[in-house]
Amino acid sequence: MQNPQTLTIAVSKGRIYKDSMPLLAAAGIEPLDDPDQSRKLIIPTTREDVRLVIIRATDVPTYVEYGAADLGIAGKDVLMESDADSLYEPLDLNIACCRLMTALPEQASHRQGCLRVATKYAKTARWFYAKKGIKAEIIKLYGSMELAPLVGLADCIVDVVDTGNTLKANGLYADELIAHISSRMIVNQASMKLKYNAIHDLLDKVATACQKPAA
Ligand code: AMP
């Protein structure tokens, strides 16, 4: 049976996993399997009382809100879009940094009427255009947003931008900044009370590691 004091940390594969593991290592937590090599979804670590669950980035807030994971590592873009509203967000890890932006075709034709916006960030886009008083039809997509203006599906897109190379390669340019994005440590509210010492110790060690310049 699982020790009731075991900490479960939810994390997604890819950029966030790669950048967050050196930070968790500062708290003595190193995965014993590589999720890219293994099909296991629960990964034990060098600390017997800590395990990782490997899930989709957009599912991380849900696992943490319901307490299936005590902690999670999620991008601010995912948190803004999530309906999980009872999470603690105590630590900005300053990793996987990028910007959530609107982007337009370089040769945009003059728009009349309702703006059509393609994005996987439907909730955030709706909020952004409403705040600006712009009437927008939000078209929800699950990937390759850059294609939408090129084939007449949308006038513009809302997406995360790092170097801007993907936009450029598709004849688009970044226009308005919606939010600066980085990954955050999130914590389940009940876990924060019930596992207070273990969670605080982990957050302290990770926070110290975040402040150190990369070796
Ligand atoms: P870039 O060409 O460097 O601007 O990267 C743009 C693409 O990389 C976007 O369309 C995203 O899919 C992805 N991307 C860049 N940064 C991040 C990030 N921090 N988190 C998630 N996806 C990202």
pLDDT tens sequence across 141-185: 999 999 999 999 999 999 999 999 999 999 999 999 999 999 999
Is residue 214 pLDDT above 70, yes or no?
Answer: no
Would you put residue 119 in left (φ > 0), alpha (ψ -120 to 50) or beta? beta
- Tell which one of 12, 157, 161 to mutate to probe ligand 1, the residue whose CB is within 8 A of the most ligand atoms: 161
* Residues at CB less than 6 angstroms from ligand 1: 15, 75, 96, 98, 159-166, 181
108 versus 7: the higher-pLDDT residue is 7
Compute how many other C-beta atoms are within 10 angstroms of the C-beta atom of residue 137: 14
Which atom of ligand 1 lies at the shortest distance from residue 145's CA? 10
- Render pLDDT for 62-119 as a digit per residue (tens, 0 to 9): 999 999 999 999 999 999 999 999 999 999 999 999 999 999 999 877 667 899 999 9
Reading the block at residue 194, the tokens are 């019930």
Minimum-distance ligand 1 atom for the alpha carbon of 143:
12
pLDDT band at 213 (very low <50, low <70, confident <90, very high): low
Minimum CA distance residue for ligand 1 atom 16 = 162
Closest atom of ligand 1 to CA, residue 57: 21
Q: Which of 184, 214, 199 is nearest to 78 (CA)?
A: 184
Cα–Cα dist 88/169, whole Å: 38
Collapsing DSSP states into helix, strand and coil, what is residue 64? helix
Q: For residue 86, what are the contacts with CB-CB under 8 A and spacing of at least 6?
A: 65, 189
| C-alpha 138 to ligand 1 mean position (Å) | 20
pLDDT tens-digit readout, 56-73: 999 999 999 999 999 999
Q: How far is the CA of 15 from the centre of ligand 1 (A)?
A: 10
pLDDT of 110: 67
The answer, yes or no, to whether residue 21 has pLDDT greater than 60, is yes
Find the 46 Cα to ligand 1 centroid distance in Å: 31
Predicted local distance difference test score (pLDDT) of residue 215: 57
Q: What tokens does 106 get? A: 């370089």
Per-residue model confidence (pLDDT) at position 1: 63
Q: Identify the residue whose C-alpha is closest to ligand 1 atom 12.
A: 160
Q: Which atom of ligand 1 is nearest to the CA of 146?
A: 10
**CA 162 to centroid of ligand 1, rounded, Å:** 5
Q: Which of the four pLDDT bands, split at 50, 70 and 90, describes residue 4?
A: confident
| Rounded Cα–Cα distance for residues 64 and 88 (Å) | 10
C-alpha of residue 161 to centroid of ligand 1, in Å = 5
Phi, psi of 131 (to 5 degrees): -60, -35
Question: Which ligand 1 atom lies nearest to the CA of residue 168?
Answer: 2
